[in-house]
């Protein structure tokens, strides 16, 4: 590593304690400044779907971007680079220099909790798009990416401790490959974040094979390596391995522990490792303009002001990307698009749990406080009005899909406050259990997800502080009935209504999936309530013994995770429904000309912290779908829209005529969906992951050792047969193949020409729009040995521009021989022989056009 002269000069002036302070965070999101030397504080911010600032819940507003799975569904390098540019400007408004994104892990199993946060099951598509994301983000030089999670974080089950056993071939070809592509690309990410899990016996943050040998040795990466939050598993080993920065702070593993170990280290190896890591921290600070500050400016770098402003052009970019990633799965009767002039005077009914309040994104580090939210039904009304079309829009929920009771709403809940009309809860914090001791601070909240990881009073934050809080509010139900309250919590909690204890969750024992799976299962109770009557609600919560929310590392040491220490609580409330939801929805559908059914998942089902337990749609959504398909007088006029970040089972698929996969579209989700439904924008997305028919079709369903793991070990038994590779080689037919997607128009692909280059091939192909609607086609190039068609793999892709009917475009595709190679005994090898380059509609399709390529002698590349 070559350290810049200025950095060396500053290092020479630093005390040992100051160097130690640089290699661990100062708080939840920032590094420690050294004011006397003009060293500022580096600020990080989540995450993959937007730059949300310094608070995980309830912080500054920010643009809510489509989930990365939806970004990848565009199959557009230009679209993903544009998202990176938007993120660059957003991070600047949050005074942050490091964006904790992109997530470059591959989708291994459709139940993975963070699949929505990744790009694809395919390493080439993941790497190619991540490269554009990083390049767009780092283009201005004001922010750098922290690509994550290095490596093999494909599940959330036991994510802090699980050991992923992966063959060298699978590790190289699938899981390391996208990281290699971005590190060796023209704009390497400024940071890499290690995963929580172990890989082949060692935690990623202290894995010398991954960090020292591969990342720094083979790939020559010179950027900063940081741990995931709470993912530093040792004091010495992680530093020696080259994990430069422990996050978050205050330090758990380093700090005084590291200082004492270095002072007592006789051979000086730790001091050398410290100099290297602190040097990399300083190098990044210099790159971000945070060296050479005045003492006051260095101190002020910890408190830089956050803002929320997004240009109209950026919002249009986001909306376009969401529409471009929308995948038309079926359009059997050509019901879509609902052209404005054809639906004038018609009745359009929106049904489903995601119809009025759509799913914007998944949970965890990808959650956001959006500037606004567009929802399917309201956005459709807005767009038709803008088109001057008179339509009647009706609504019925039809089914519930919540895992926990819905968060409280501002139309029913309120609290007396001088801070504004939006507050629904008041929180009073005390420095002792059971709301005793002194009152430390009073806060007002706008939602009932009270995550205190970084929003508890500063005086109470820390892994060993014991404190409590009291929440007060009032609720005025809109209906009379037996209404339900529910609480999940990390700490001890109990709920009183009109001074009567209703829900007791004080000494809970049954764990649940809330708060990254550190919280309890939901404790629910119902009570009779009268419409219009106001009820006073008090919730009390105290810190729980940290041993109940701790885990162990490979050495058997107890680790207190920062996500499980604050007594956070989630409060839910649901009024008793009246009537039959499904029959009401069916009756309304039969009185309508078209029905748009919006179903799917949301942040309660797909999130950091837990994996899905089933591929089925939750709640009574399946019953609702089958009732509409079988009971509607004109089922052909039913348009089914699914919002999710990964596949769901669709046993009803054959009976449905029109299906759209809309992903999680962030704050523009509703607008983009309306544009696609109305034909204002064509759907041009393609699936970035294979869609199984049923989860039992997959080998994971009957082999717990391969998913989710047994006794702290998970075995990647499928090797390189991930996603479509497995389906091809096992001759299993999925519901939809990787790369599948329809258009409102039809394309002709012809005139394939090939030119040899020094490192590969250049293909040219002509794409003609033969249909009656404008559209974009995705050209996918797969390679396979001539005698083994089931060994096909994606090696190139390109998306056309928007082609009007009758127009054509010549597409150029670059195929590198290195991307056709496979890992073999310590190097990359492309064996001699004949290979087919085929342009296919999807991974399982026949070649539309093809070209044989002869490799006269084997080619090898060093790693």
> What confidence score (pLDDT) does residue 548 get?
47
CATH of the domain at 806: 2.60.40.10
How is the beta sheet containing 847-855 ordered, strand by strand?
793-799, 778-785, 833-840, 847-855
**pLDDT value at residue 481:** 95
The residues pairing with 753 across neighbouring beta strands, listed in sequence order, are 764
Q: What is the pLDDT of residue 287?
A: 96
Q: What are phi and psi of 226, to 5 degrees?
A: -120, 160
Say yes or no to pLDDT of 464 above 80: no
275 and 334 share one domain = no
Give the model's pLDDT for residue 556: 46
- The range of the structural domain enclosing residue 666 comes to 322-402+578-730
Examine residue 4 and state whether it is found in any structural domain, yes or no.
yes
Per-residue confidence band for 112, with pLDDT thresholds at 50, 70 and 90? very high
* Tens of pLDDT, residues 697-734: 999 999 999 999 999 999 999 999 999 999 999 999 99
Q: Is 496 helix (H, G, I), strand (E, B) or coil?
A: strand
Confidence of residue 418 (pLDDT cuts 50, 70, 90): low
Q: Does 154 reside within a domain?
A: no
> Residue 611 CA to chain centroid, in angstroms?
13
On whether residue 420 sits in a domain, the answer given is yes
* Spatial distance between the Cα atoms of 176 and 170, rounded to a whole number of angstroms: 9
Q: Are residues 605 and 701 in the same domain?
A: yes
DSSP run (H or E) holding 569? strand 569-574
Paired with 540 in beta bridges are 470, 494
Does 536 share its domain with 445?
yes
Q: Across all residues in the chain, what is the average pLDDT?
A: 94
626 and 602: one domain? yes
Q: Are residues 624 and 677 in the same domain?
A: yes
User: Which residues are within 8 A (CB) of 316 and not within 5 positions of it... i.e. 6 or more apart?
Assistant: none
pLDDT-derived band at 92, boundaries 50, 70, 90: very high
**pLDDT of 529 strictly over 80:** yes
CA dihedral 246, 251, 252, 255 (to 10 degrees): 100
Which of 542-546, 548-552, 701-705 is modeled with the greatest confidence? Answer: 701-705
- Only one residue has tokens 């964006």, namely 99
Weakest mean pLDDT among 358-372, 533-547, 629-643: 533-547
CA nearest 598: which of 401, 408, 764?
Answer: 401
pLDDT score of 549 more than 70: no
Is residue 814 among the annotated active site residues? no
Chain centroid, CA 683 distance in Å: 22
Q: Is residue 130 domain-resident?
A: no
Same domain, yes or no: 423 and 367 = no
Percent of the chain with pLDDT over 90: 89
pLDDT at position 564 is: 80
Token couple for 773: 């609607």
Residue 454 has pLDDT above 80, yes or no: yes
Cβ atoms 195, 153 nearer than 8 A? yes
Rounded to 5°, angle at Cα 118 from 721 and 157? 75
What's the number of domains the chain is made of?
4
Task: State the pLDDT at residue 310.
Answer: 85
Between CA 613 and CA 616 the distance in angstroms is 9
In a domain, 231, yes or no: no
Out of 574, 602, 627, a domain closes at 574
Contact 492, 533 (CB under 8 A): no
Give me the sign of the Cα torsion angle 176, 836, 740, 665. Answer: positive
Name the domain boundary from 730, 764, 787. Answer: 730
Average pLDDT over residues 218-238: 96
The model's pTM is 0.95
For range 162-166, the mean pLDDT: 98
In a domain, 201, yes or no: no
- What is the reported pLDDT for 651? 96
pLDDT above 70: residue 444: yes
One domain, residues 485 and 567: yes
The neighbour count for residue 148, using CB atoms within 10 Å, is 26
Asked which of 684, 704, 730 is the last residue of a domain, the reply is 730
For CA atoms 145, 151, 153, 154, the dihedral sign is positive
Mean pLDDT over 423-428 rounds to 93
Q: Is residue 701 part of a domain?
A: yes
Output the pLDDT for position 546.
Answer: 44
Distance CA 816, CA 435 (A): 65
> Does residue 557 surpass a pLDDT of 60?
no
Q: Are residues 628 and 677 in the same domain?
A: yes
| Claim to verify: residue 722 and residue 764 sit in the same structural domain | no
Task: Specify the pLDDT at position 169.
Answer: 98
pLDDT band at 550 (very low <50, low <70, confident <90, very high): very low
What pLDDT, on a 0 to 100 scale, did the predictor assign at position 223?
97
Quick: pLDDT tens for 476-491.
Answer: 999 999 999 999 999 9
Mean pLDDT calculated for residue range 382-391: 96
Predicted local confidence at residue 555, as pLDDT? 43
Residues 644 and 787 both lie in one domain:
no
* 55 occurs within a structural domain: no
Structure tokens given for 274:
């410290």
Query: pLDDT tens, 619-643?
Result: 999 999 999 999 999 999 999 999 9
Binned at pLDDT 50, 70 and 90, residue 1 comes out as: low
pLDDT interval class at 423 (50, 70, 90): confident
Quick one: 272 exposed, middle or buried, by C-beta within 10 A (0-12, 13-18, 19+)? Answer: middle
CATH code of residue 331:
3.40.50.1700
- Does residue 524 sit in the same domain as residue 594? no
- pLDDT single digits (tens) 798-852: 999 999 999 999 999 999 999 999 999 999 999 999 999 999 999 999 999 999 9
Q: Are 635 and 642 in contact (CB under 8 A)?
A: no
What is the token pair recorded at 411?
């139309």
Q: Given a cut of 80, is residue 214 above it in pLDDT?
A: yes
Give the model's pLDDT for residue 266: 81
Question: What is the average pLDDT across 289-318?
Answer: 92
595 contacts: CB under 8 Å, gap ≥ 6 = 348, 349, 350, 351, 589, 628, 632, 637, 638, 639
pLDDT for the residue numbered 544: 80
> How far apart, in whole angstroms, are the C-alpha atoms of residue 244 and residue 227?
8
Which residues lie closer than 8 Å to 769 by C-beta, 6 or more apart?
A: 745, 746, 747, 775, 777, 803, 804, 805, 806, 807, 808
* Encoded tokens for 335: 């019901």
Say if residue 660 is in the same domain as residue 526.
Answer: no
Model pLDDT, residue 2: 57
Over pLDDT 70: what percentage of the chain?
Answer: 97
List, edge to edge, every strand of the sheet that includes 760-769: 747-756, 760-769, 808-816
Which candidate in 46, 228, 320, 841 is catalytic? 228
Model confidence band, residue 309 (pLDDT cutoffs 50, 70, 90): confident
């Amino acid at each position: 590593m070559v350290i810049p002269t200025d950095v060396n000069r500053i290092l020479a002036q630093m005390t040992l304690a100051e160097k130690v302070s640089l290699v661990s965070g100062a708080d939840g999101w920032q590094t420690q400044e050294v004011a006397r030397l003009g060293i500022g504080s580096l600020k990080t911010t989540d995450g993959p779907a937007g730059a949300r600032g310094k608070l995980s819940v309830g912080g500054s507003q920010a643009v809510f971007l489509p989930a990365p799975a939806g970004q990848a569904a565009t199959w557009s390098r230009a679209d993903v680079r544009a998202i990176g540019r938007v993120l660059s400007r957003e991070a600047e408004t949050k005074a942050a220099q490091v964006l904790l994104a992109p997530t470059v892990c591959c989708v291994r199993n459709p139940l993975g909790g963070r699949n929505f946060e990744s790009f694809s099951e395919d390493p080439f598509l993941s790497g190619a798009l991540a490269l554009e994301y990083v390049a767009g983000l780092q283009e201005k030089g004001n922010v750098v990416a922290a690509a994550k999670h290095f490596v093999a974080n494909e599940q959330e089950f036991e994510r802090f401790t699980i050991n992923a056993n992966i063959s060298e071939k699978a590790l190289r070809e699938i899981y390391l490959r996208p990281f290699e592509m971005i590190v060796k690309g023209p704009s390497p990410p400024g940071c890499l974040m290690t995963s929580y899990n172990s890989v082949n016996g060692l935690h990623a943050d202290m894995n010398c094979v991954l960090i020292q040998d591969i990342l720094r040795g083979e790939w020559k990466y010179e950027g900063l390596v940081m741990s995931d939050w709470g993912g530093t598993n040792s004091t010495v080993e992680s530093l020696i391995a080259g994990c430069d920065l422990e996050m978050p702070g205050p330090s758990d593993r380093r700090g005084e522990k590291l200082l004492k170990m270095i002072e007592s280290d006789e051979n000086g190896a730790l001091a050398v490792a410290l100099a290297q890591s602190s040097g990399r921290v300083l190098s990044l600070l210099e790159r971000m303009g945070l060296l050479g500050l005045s003492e006051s400016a260095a101190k002020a770098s910890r408190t830089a002001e956050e803002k929320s402003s997004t240009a109209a052009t950026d919002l249009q970019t986001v909306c376009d990307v969401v529409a471009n990633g929308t995948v038309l799965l079926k359009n059997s009767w050509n019901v879509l698009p609902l052209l404005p002039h054809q639906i004038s005077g018609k009745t359009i009914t929106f049904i489903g749990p995601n119809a009025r309040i759509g799913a914007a994104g998944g949970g965890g580090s990808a959650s956001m406080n959006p500037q606004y939210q567009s929802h399917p039904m309201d956005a459709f009304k807005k767009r038709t009005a803008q088109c001057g079309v008179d339509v009647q829009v009706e609504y019925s929920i039809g089914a519930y899909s919540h895992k926990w009771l819905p968060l409280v709403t501002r139309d029913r809940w309120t609290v007396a406050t001088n801070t504004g009309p939006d507050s629904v809860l008041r929180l009073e914090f005390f420095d002792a259990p059971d709301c005793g001791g002194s009152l430390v601070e009073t806060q007002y909240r706008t939602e009932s997800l009270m995550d205190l990881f970084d929003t508890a009073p500063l005086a109470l934050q820390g892994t060993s502080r014991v404190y409590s809080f009291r929440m007060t509010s009032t609720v005025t139900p809109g209906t009379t009935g037996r209404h339900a309250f529910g609480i999940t919590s990390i700490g001890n909690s109990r709920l009183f209504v009109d001074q009567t204890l209703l829900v007791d969750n004080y000494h809970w024992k049954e764990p649940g999936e809330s708060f990254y799976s550190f919280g309890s299962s939901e404790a629910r109770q119902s009570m009779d309530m009268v419409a219009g009557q106001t009820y006073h609600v008090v919730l009390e919560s105290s810190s729980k013994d940290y041993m109940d929310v701790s885990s162990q590392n490979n050495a058997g040491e107890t680790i207190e995770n920062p996500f499980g220490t604050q007594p956070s609580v989630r409060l839910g409330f649901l009024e008793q429904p009246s009537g039959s939801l499904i029959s009401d929805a069916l009756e309304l559908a039969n009185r309508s000309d078209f029905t748009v059914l919006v179903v799917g998942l949301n942040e309660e089902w797909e999130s950091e912290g837990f994996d899905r337990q089933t591929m089925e749609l939750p709640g009574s959504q399946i019953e609702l779908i089958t009732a509409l398909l079988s009971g509607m007088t004109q089922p052909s006029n039913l348009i089914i829209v699914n919002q999710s970040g990964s596949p769901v089972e669709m046993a009803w698929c054959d009976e449905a005529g029109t299906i759209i996969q809309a992903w999680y579209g962030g704050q523009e989700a509703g607008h983009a969906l309306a544009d696609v439904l109305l034909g204002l924008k064509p759907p041009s997305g393609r699936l970035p992951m294979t869609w199984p028919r049923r989860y039992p079709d997959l080998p994971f369903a009957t082999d717990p050792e391969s998913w989710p793991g047994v006794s702290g070990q998970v075995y990647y038994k499928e090797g390189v047969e991930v996603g479509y590779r497995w389906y091809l080689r096992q001759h299993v037919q999925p519901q939809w193949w990787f790369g599948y997607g329809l258009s409102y128009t039809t394309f002709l692909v012809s005139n394939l020409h090939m030119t040899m280059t020094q490192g590969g091939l250049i293909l040219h192909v002509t794409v003609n729009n033969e249909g009656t609607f404008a559209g974009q086609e995705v050209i996918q190039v797969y390679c396979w040995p001539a005698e083994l068609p089931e060994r096909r793999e994606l090696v190139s892709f390109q998306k056309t521009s928007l082609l009007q009917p009758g127009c054509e475009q010549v597409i150029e595709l670059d195929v590198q021989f290195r991307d056709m190679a496979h890992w073999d005994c310590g190097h990359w090898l492309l064996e001699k022989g004949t290979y087919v380059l085929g342009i296919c509609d999807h991974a399982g399709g026949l070649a539309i056009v093809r070209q044989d390529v002869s490799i006269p002698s084997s080619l090898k590349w060093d790693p």
